[in-house]
Amino acid sequence: MEENKKRLKCEIVTPEGLLVSEDVAMVVVPGEMGELGVLPRHTPIVSKTVIGEARIKHLRNEQWEHLAVGNGYVKMQFDRLLLLVDTAEKATDIDTGRAREALSRAEKWLSRTGEPEADADRAEQSRRRALNRLKVAGGK
């Protein structure tokens, strides 16, 4: 029965607001040292997360939902997980055409390093976000 299952309150927050707020079975987030799987009653943590894929295992059907996330932090305490990230999109909401355009813009900037207006770090972050969106959306 769903009521008896161990659950984790998962909140995914971006500067635009609350993208996810629901009780789930498990969450996987992209940590700096690799994927971090979080089950209910996980040890309390605060940790940095990086551009990558987050996954949520739903209680209702035990299916995994995939999201593309930007850099941020995860906090786990009691049975609550908060993922605070600069961007997050559910796989089904990703606009792959837009990501491809962002990728080619970023690659153009990266080929112009040395020019005063070319910000290589910014271009690299943008390239990673775009590649990640394409991977999560399955469009690459």
Between 9 and 105, CB nearer to ligand ATP: 105
Residue 55 beta carbon to ligand ATP: minimum distance, rounded to whole angstroms? 17
| Two tokens, residue 94 | 């990703």
Residue 28 beta carbon to ligand ATP: minimum distance, rounded to whole angstroms? 19
| Side-chain-side CA neighbours of residue 1 (13 Å) | 2
What's the one-letter identity of residue 57? K
CB burial class (10 A; 0-12, 13-18, 19+) of residue 129?
Answer: buried
Q: Is the CB of residue 76 less than 8 Å from the CB of residue 97?
A: no
Residue 96 beta carbon to ligand ATP: minimum distance, rounded to whole angstroms? 7
Binding residues for ligand ATP (CB under 6 A): 16, 70, 87, 89, 93-95, 98-99, 102, 126, 129, 133
Between 47 and 87, CB nearer to ligand ATP: 87
Residue at token pair 């949520």: 56
Residue 25 beta carbon to ligand ATP: minimum distance, rounded to whole angstroms? 25
Between 8 and 12, CB nearer to ligand ATP: 12
